[in-house]
A and B are shown apart, each in its own frame.
Chain A
C-alpha cells in the first residue's frame, strides 16, 4: 500500500512492505493469543463471586483462584496490551513518518526480547510458582524467572521505543521544519512516558525482588517496593490509554467521516500526559503508613491535574465526532450522535469504549481523592474501576482497531462485519453489568483480591450484586470469544480482497493545517525537562528517605507463599 501526502510542495511516498506487515502482525498475534488465554480465567473469577466455583474441576492443572487471577491479570493487563501497543505504534510510526523503521533489526530484537520474557514469566505462573497477581507486591514471593521474564518484557518494549525514536530522528533530519505527524507523535510521547514510568519497576525488580527471589538477600522492604511499583503502576494506565487516544484523535474522526477538531489541543493533551502521568503514584498508597500525609496530598493534587488533559481529550474527540456527524446529516443538541457510523464495528467499539471510559473517569476522581478514597480503598470498586480503563477504554478500542488492522495486515476482508458490531455491544453491556456491580460491592465494603464465593462474611445485601458480577463476566467471555473468532476467521479465512480493493488505514486530517500548530507543541526539550523536574520534586525526597531507611534483613519481611 502506498501512502501519499502533498505537503509543503513535497510528495512523500512509502510502500509498506510485507515484512513491515508481518512484523506488526506478529505483535497482534501474540497479543490476541494472550487475550484469549487470559480471558478464559476472567469468567472463572466472576463465576466464583456468584457462587459457581469451577476451580476444583481444573485441578491439578490450575491450583487455585489466585493462580487464575494471576494468569488473567498478567496476560490481559500486561501482555495483551504491551504487544498490541508496540505493534500498533510500529504502524503509526511507519505510516506517520511515511518511511520504514530506521533500524528494523533493533525493533525485531525488542520484539523477540519481549517474547522471550513472556515465555520466561509464563512458565512459573503455569507451574504455580508465581501466584502473586499482576501487582506482585512483596512479601509475596515469586520464582526468579517470573521477575526476570517481566523485566525482559519491559526491556523489549524499551528497545522497540528506541527504534521509534531513531526513526523519528532520521525523519526529523529530512523534515526540520515540518510538524511531527500526529499519529507518530502520539506513539513517541507514549513510549517516552513509558521509558520514565518503568524506571520504578525496573529498580524494584533489579535491586530487591530478583536478588530476594534468588536468595541473595534475606528480606525485602514492602513499603519501598510498593512505592517503586506505583511509580510505574499508575502511568501503566496511561500506557494503556494513550494508544487508544492516538486512535480516537488521529484515526476515529476519519472513520466517522470527519477530521481532527484541533491538532494543537490534541498535542497539548499528549504533552500534559507525559508531564503528569508519573508523579502521582502515592494516590495508590493513601493507606500506606510509611508515607507522610503531606506527600500523599501533593500526589492527590497532581492526580487531579490529570483531569485537565483528560477533559481536553474528551472535548477534542467529541467535537471531532460531532463535526463528522453533522456533516453526515446529524441534527439537534444530542441527535447528531445517531448519525455516527454505528454500523461499523471498528467505530462502534471505540465509541462505546469512550462512553464506558467516562464512567471510569468519574470513578478515577473518587480514587484520587485523599478522603473519599478511604471508602473504596482495597475494595472491589478498584477492579471495577480499572476494568473501565484497561478492559474498556483500551481493550475495546484495541478490538475496534483490530477490525481494520487485521484486514489491512492480511489483505482479507473482515469476517462477518455485523458480528463485529454485535461483539462490541456485548462487551459494552457485559462491562456495564460487571463493572457497576463491582463498584456497588466496593461501596458496600466487599474486599478486592478475595474469592468472595467462599468468604464467610458475605452479607445478604451483596448477593444480588455478586450474581451480576457472574452475569457480566459471562457476557464478557462470550464477547471475547466472538472477538477472537472474528480475528481468527479473518486471518485464516480463504476470502481475499478483490484486485482493486485495499484496506485503507484511517488517518484523520486536522481541521487546521498542522503547520499552524505552535512550534512549542512540537519541541521535546522543554517537556522532557519539565517531566524530569516534576518527577524529582514529587518523588525525590520520599525516595531518598525510604531508601535511606531500607531494611532488607529477614526481620523486615521474609518471603510469604500462602498458596
Chain B
C-alpha cells in the first residue's frame, strides 16, 4: 500500500524533461538535415 502511494506520488511529480529534450534535438536535426537537402536543391538550379 505504501509502495502504491509512493508510486502515485512519483507519478504526479514526473515531468518527462528528458523526453522533451530528446524531441527538441530531433526537431532541430530535422530542420538541419531537411535544410541541407534544400540547399542541394537550390544549388542545382531549383528545377534540378
- Contact partner of A333 among B14, B18, B38, B48, CB < 8 A? B18
Grouping DSSP codes into helix (H, G, I), strand (E, B) and loop, the A interface class, with mixed when no group exceeds half, is helix
How close is A262's CB to chain B, nearest CB, in angstroms? 10
Which chain A residue lies CB-closest to B26? A358
* In the A-B complex, the 8 residue pairs with the closest CB atoms: A319-B16, A318-B19, A319-B19, A374-B48, A322-B18, A375-B41, A322-B19, A362-B30
Instruction: Check A375 against B29 for contact (C-beta < 8 Å).
Output: no
Which chain A residue lies CB-closest to B33? A362
Instruction: Check A372 against B34 for contact (C-beta < 8 Å).
Output: yes
Q: Which residues of A contact B23 (CB under 8 A)?
A: 311, 314-315, 318
Q: Which residues of B contact A369 (CB under 8 A)?
A: 34
The interface size of chain B toward A, counting residues with CB under 8 Å, comes to 21
A409 lies within 8 A of chain B by Cβ: no
How close is B10's CB to chain A, nearest CB, in angstroms? 8
Interface residues of A in 324-374 (CB under 8 A from B): 326-327, 332-334, 336-337, 358, 361-362, 365-366, 369, 371-372, 374
Which chain A residue lies CB-closest to B17? A333
In the assembled complex, 21 residue pairs joining A and B whose CB atoms fall closer than 8 Å, in A order, are A311-B23, A314-B23, A315-B16, A318-B16, A318-B18, A318-B22, A319-B16, A322-B19, A332-B18, A334-B18, A358-B29, A361-B26, A366-B33, A366-B34, A369-B34, A371-B38, A372-B37, A375-B37, A375-B44, A375-B48, A443-B40
Q: Which residues of A contact B44 (CB under 8 A)?
A: 375
B1 lies within 8 A of chain A by Cβ: no
Interface size class of A (residues with CB under 8 A): 20 to 34
Q: Which residues of A contact B40 (CB under 8 A)?
A: 375, 443
Instruction: Check B41 against A372 for contact (C-beta < 8 Å).
Output: yes
B2 lies within 8 A of chain A by Cβ: no
How close is A269's CB to chain B, nearest CB, in angstroms? 14
Number of A-B contacts (CB under 8 A): 62
A323 lies within 8 A of chain B by Cβ: yes
Q: Which residues of A contact B38 (CB under 8 A)?
A: 371-372
Grouping DSSP codes into helix (H, G, I), strand (E, B) and loop, the B interface class, with mixed when no group exceeds half, is helix
- Contact partner of B37 among A319, A443, A511, CB < 8 A? A443
Which chain B residue lies CB-closest to A374? B48
Instruction: Check B34 against A323 for contact (C-beta < 8 Å).
Output: no
Known contacts A358-B26, A371-B41, A375-B41: A261-B34 contact under CB 8 Å: no
Interface flags for A230-272 (1: CB within 8 Å of B; 0: not) read: 0000000000000000000000000000000100000000000
Interface residues of A in 303-325 (CB under 8 A from B): 311, 314-315, 318-319, 322-323
A153 lies within 8 A of chain B by Cβ: no
B9 lies within 8 A of chain A by Cβ: no
Interface residues of A in 131-177 (CB under 8 A from B): none
A376 lies within 8 A of chain B by Cβ: yes
Instruction: Check B48 against A315 for contact (C-beta < 8 Å).
Output: no
Interface residues of B in 1-48 (CB under 8 A from A): 10-11, 14, 16-19, 21-23, 26, 29-30, 33-34, 37-38, 40-41, 44, 48
Q: Which residues of B contact A319 (CB under 8 A)?
A: 16, 19
Which chain B residue lies CB-closest to A330? B18
Q: Which residues of A contact B18 (CB under 8 A)?
A: 318, 322, 332-334, 336-337
CA distance A322 to B18 in the complex (A): 7
Q: Which residues of B contact A336 (CB under 8 A)?
A: 18
- Contact partner of A322 among B10, B16, B37, B48, CB < 8 A? B16
Q: Which residues of A contact B11 (CB under 8 A)?
A: 323, 511
Instruction: Check A374 against B30 for contact (C-beta < 8 Å).
Output: no
CA distance A333 to B16 in the complex (A): 9
CA distance A311 to B22 in the complex (A): 12
Q: Which residues of A contact B22 (CB under 8 A)?
A: 318, 334
Choose among B16, B23, B37 the residue with the greatest number of A CB atoms under 10 Å from its CB.
B37
Interface residues of A in 405-459 (CB under 8 A from B): 443
Q: Which residues of A contact B34 (CB under 8 A)?
A: 362, 365-366, 369, 372
Interface flags for A15-28 (1: CB within 8 Å of B; 0: not) read: 00000000000000
CA distance A376 to B36 in the complex (A): 12
Q: Which residues of B contact A323 (CB under 8 A)?
A: 11, 14, 16
Q: Which residues of A contact B16 (CB under 8 A)?
A: 261, 315, 318-319, 322-323
Which chain A residue lies CB-closest to B36? A443
How close is B24's CB to chain A, nearest CB, in angstroms? 11
Known contacts A318-B22, A323-B14: A374-B41 contact under CB 8 Å: yes
Q: Which residues of B contact A327 (CB under 8 A)?
A: 10
Q: Which residues of B contact A261 (CB under 8 A)?
A: 16
Q: Which residues of A contact B21 (CB under 8 A)?
A: 333-334
Instruction: Check B19 against A376 for contact (C-beta < 8 Å).
Output: no
CA distance A190 to B34 in the complex (A): 29
CA distance A358 to B25 in the complex (A): 11
Which chain B residue lies CB-closest to A319? B16
Q: Which residues of A contact B14 (CB under 8 A)?
A: 323, 326
How close is A395's CB to chain B, nearest CB, in angstroms? 22
CA distance A371 to B26 in the complex (A): 22
CA distance A315 to B16 in the complex (A): 9
CA distance A376 to B44 in the complex (A): 12
How close is A439's CB to chain B, nearest CB, in angstroms? 10
